[in-house]
Amino acid sequence: MALMEPNSIAIIPSAREQVRSRDTEYPFRQDSDFYYLSGFTEPDAVLALIPGRRHGQFVMFCRERDPGMELWHGYRSGPEGVCEKHAADDAFPIGDIDDILPGLIEGRERVYYSMGRSADFDRQIMAWVNSIRSKESSGAVHPGEFTDLDHMLHELRLFKSAAELRLLRRAGEITARAHQRAMRSCRPGLYEYQLEAELQHEFATSGARHPAYPSIVGSGDNACVMHYVENASKMRDGDLVLIDAGCEFEYYAADVTRTFPVNGRFSREQRALYELVLRAQLAAIAEVKPGNHWNQPHDASVRVITEGLVALGLLKGKVPGLIKREAYRTYYMHRVGHWLGLDVHDVGDYRLGEEWRLLEPGMVMTVEPGLYVAPQNSKVAKKWRGIGIRIEDDVVVTEQGCEVISAGVPKTIEEIEALMGAR
């Protein structure tokens, strides 16, 4: 609230339950912004932050206690519980919001709100403002300005506290064990979804009931599809399998990718491309340090991959020219990473004005170069086609450089083959 202007109010709605089919709902997951500010995990709630309010600056509207509904759907905190367990200064039943919140908005010079996320709540906000306008003849004063909350709040979320980093490290540790479990379980003839089940088992038994995103388990040609989630193919002897999976632990995400041979041994071509991707990843991680800008890890990965593709004969020409015209994008079409936190693709600006922002301690990012030789790519020898490789780790920017918090997953060829050979 220290960042808010005097005589202002911020309004943040919770996530809503979403219907999956007919009378069943998706597992509820709280809106990340709402959770960051409140720690409250129930639906049908609204948070108001009102700096300088005499009766309390942290105000919550939520569902009342209802023993009948709780019998069917579980415990509710109620307004009293929100004050007791979540340190709200004041709390009211959500059913009273139309009577109370307009009075909290009235007379405020500025409203901080993320317009455009929910059309229904946008209309509700405007209805409250219009109700104030309708009373102007009686001396009511409506807000003079709406300010988008996202930029200010997301800049705060970009820099992780010590408590947040502990949760991210825990998510990384659980995810590392899950990837190791998948490697040990893998063999020709299994289906991709069976490896997915191994991942989910490790997540759940470690206290992370849900993946942070749909797990990708793509073998053979499927590894060349960036967001392959069908996970339905039988894994064949001689193919690679790419697993991009991470758990969500107490709302914080891990995002880790490993690629390994279904039979536990890399072929010559698989080895060559894998070692190239690994060199690119290590070069990119070396650029994650305070004072470097966001794009330096990506530039490092592009340089290493382009040089390697020329050496292997998949690209022809001078490296600087190939980089300038982005020839590498035939095989490496995505960026090297993204922010990580409460969301797997976490919030925060990558540029400040026209410049890439500088990396600072407390930022957390992924580093995930890849190579994907499409099975239909007739410009390369058949031996390269259908090979998809990505190596991804979660990296914290520290005062001294960086910390790889997913380092528990083997990623050298020797480590992978040793782990899989010990099955």
Give the contacts of 295 (CB within 8 A, at least 6 positions apart).
Answer: 356
Residue 103 tokens, joined? 């009075």
**Beta-sheet strands, E only, within 283-413:** 351-352, 355-356, 364-367, 370-372, 388-390, 393-397, 402-404
Residues 235 and 187: their CA atoms lie apart, in Å, by 8
Q: Which of 66, 67, 15, 65 shows the shortest CA–CA distance to 45?
A: 15
| CA gap 301, 365 in Å, rounded | 15
Planar angle of CA 30, 95, 148, nearest 5 degrees: 50
Report the distance separating Cα 19 and Cα 302, nearest Å: 43
Could you say which DSSP state residue 384 is in?
A: G
Q: What is the dihedral of CA 15, 217, 279, 356, to 10 degrees?
A: -20
Angle between helices 413-421 and 268-286 (to 10 degrees): 120
In whole angstroms, give the CA distance from residue 158 to residue 367: 16
Greatest C-alpha distance within the chain: 82
Rounded to whole angstroms, the Cα distance separating 337 from 133 reads: 47
- The residue written with tokens 């073998």 in the block is 219
In Å, what is the CA distance from 94 to each residue of 40, 45, 62, 86, 369? Answer: 14, 7, 5, 16, 47
Mind telling me the catalytic residues? 23, 227, 244, 255, 334, 338, 345, 368, 372, 390, 392
- The continuous run of DSSP H or E covering 178 comes out as helix 162-185
What tokens were used for 396?
Answer: 């914290």
How deeply is 19 buried, as exposed, middle or buried, from its count of CB atoms within 10 A (0-12, 13-18, 19+)?
A: exposed
- Written as one string, the DSSP assignment of 54-79 is TT-SEEEEEPPP-HHHHHHH----HH
